[in-house]
């Protein structure tokens, strides 16, 4: 089972396999930064995560003219594919999500990505934020307006609160406020050159391309794109650009991670 977890989910923690296995039932995250169109890559990756189960889906991009745009649907990825056909999303930085609802019913407003009040920050999340009620109350008292019943939405507002031109720093500060389990993909219209990812307990890998990079809940999701990944550990923060990946701890100390190469035997 441990070998299975390592291959499929990226779990590298001894004893974490039961938890990792449970989280297989929760959701999928796929993100892309590069020069190709992100939505098609996110959609194809999410299809490879369908085995986890989900009730709704969404994709957000930063457009070439620096806006955040998104599509969200209840139901299957085929509905998302049809939506993208009739209302195309254009952007080479994007994050996608399939949701397995834990907080708030399956609905368009509860599906991910979740946005900040100003609509510039988008967040996808796998896991459960245990202290979301107190964070939400605090953020509402500071004037933030919530649109969903999810635990996840606090993260979009926390990043907005802490954002001062540096998306990684905002994400880092936000994560320090959280208790619980999470893998996040985060983008911001005002930081069009970076994709931020961070995890605690929920699985996350970073796929390495040439002039393009990826994030995913498991290696299989991006296997068609690359056979090289970084397996991200708990409380590790990733700043991903088209040109490279910086992994740090939550104090921003650099982490040297060896590249994990998927062998041919894993091609399906
Ligand atoms: N807790 C979050 C929600 O209910 C994320 C669930 C998931 O991992 O899909 O939206």
State how far the alpha carbon of 176 is from the alpha carbons of 184, 191, 198, in Å: 13, 21, 11
Supply the pLDDT for residue 17.
43
State if residue 26 touches ligand 1 by the CB under 6 angstroms criterion: yes
Closest by Cα among 189, 186, 175 to 119: 189
Q: In angstroms, what is the span from residue 5 Cα to ligand 1's centroid?
A: 21
Closest by Cα among 151, 129, 134, 257 to 205: 257
Supply the pLDDT for residue 52.
87
Q: Best substitution site from 105, 128, 130, 148 to test ligand 1's pocket, by max atoms within 8 Å of Cβ? A: 128
- For residue 259, give the DSSP letter: P
Stretches in the chain below the pLDDT threshold 70 = 1-26, 264-268
pTM: 0.91
State if residue 97 touches ligand 1 by the CB under 6 angstroms criterion: no
Q: How far apart are CA 261 and CA 168, in angstroms?
A: 27
Q: How many CA atoms lie within 13 A of 57 on its CB side?
A: 28
State if residue 46 touches ligand 1 by the CB under 6 angstroms criterion: no
Beta bridge partners of 96: 30, 59
Supply the pLDDT for residue 6.
44
Supply the pLDDT for residue 257.
97
Q: In angstroms, what is the span from residue 58 Cα to ligand 1's centroid?
A: 12
Beta strands at 228-231 and 56-62: parallel, antiparallel or unpaired:
unpaired
Residues 6+ apart with CB under 8 A from 177: 131, 135, 158
3-state secondary structure of 129: strand
State if residue 156 touches ligand 1 by the CB under 6 angstroms criterion: no
Supply the pLDDT for residue 264.
59
Q: Best substitution site from 50, 52, 126, 131 to test ligand 1's pocket, by max atoms within 8 Å of Cβ? A: 126
Residue 157 near residue 178, CB atoms below 8 Å: no
State if residue 199 touches ligand 1 by the CB under 6 angstroms criterion: no
From the CB of residue 133, how many other CB atoms can be counted at a distance below 10 Å?
Answer: 12
Supply the pLDDT for residue 32.
98
Supply the pLDDT for residue 66.
96
Q: Best substitution site from 19, 56, 101 to test ligand 1's pocket, by max atoms within 8 Å of Cβ? A: 101
Instruction: Give the pLDDT confidence of 189-218 residue by residue, as tens digits.
Output: 999 999 999 999 999 999 999 999 999 999
């Amino acid at each position: 089972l441990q070998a299975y977890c390592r291959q499929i989910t990226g779990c590298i923690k001894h004893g974490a396999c039961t938890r990792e296995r449970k989280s297989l039932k929760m959701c999928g995250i796929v993100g892309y930064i590069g020069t190709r169109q992100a939505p098609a890559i996110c959609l194809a990756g999410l299809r490879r995560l369908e085995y986890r189960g989900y009730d709704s889906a969404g994709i957000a991009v930063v457009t070439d003219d620096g806006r955040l745009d998104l599509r969200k649907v209840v139901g299957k990825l085929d509905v998302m594919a049809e939506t993208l056909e009739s209302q195309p999303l254009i952007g080479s930085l994007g994050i996608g999500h399939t949701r397995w609802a834990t907080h708030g019913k399956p609905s368009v407003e509860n599906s991910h990505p979740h946005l900040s009040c100003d609509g510039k920050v988008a967040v996808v999340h796998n896991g459960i934020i245990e202290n979301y009620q107190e964070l939400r109350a605090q953020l509402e008292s500071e004037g933030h307006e919530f649109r969903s019943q999810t635990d996840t939405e606090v993260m979009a507002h926390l990043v907005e609160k802490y954002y001062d031109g540096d998306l990684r720093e905002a994400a880092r500060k936000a994560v320090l406020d959280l208790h619980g389990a999470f893998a996040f993909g985060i983008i911001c219209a005002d930081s069009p050159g970076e994709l931020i990812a961070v995890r605690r307990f929920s699985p996350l890998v970073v796929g390495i391309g040439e002039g393009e990079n990826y994030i995913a809940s498991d290696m299989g999701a991006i296997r068609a794109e690359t056979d090289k990944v970084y397996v991200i550990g708990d409380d590790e923060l990733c700043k991903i650009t088209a040109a490279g990946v910086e992994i740090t701890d939550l104090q921003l100390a650099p982490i040297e991670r060896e590249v994990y190469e998927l062998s041919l035997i894993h091609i399906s």
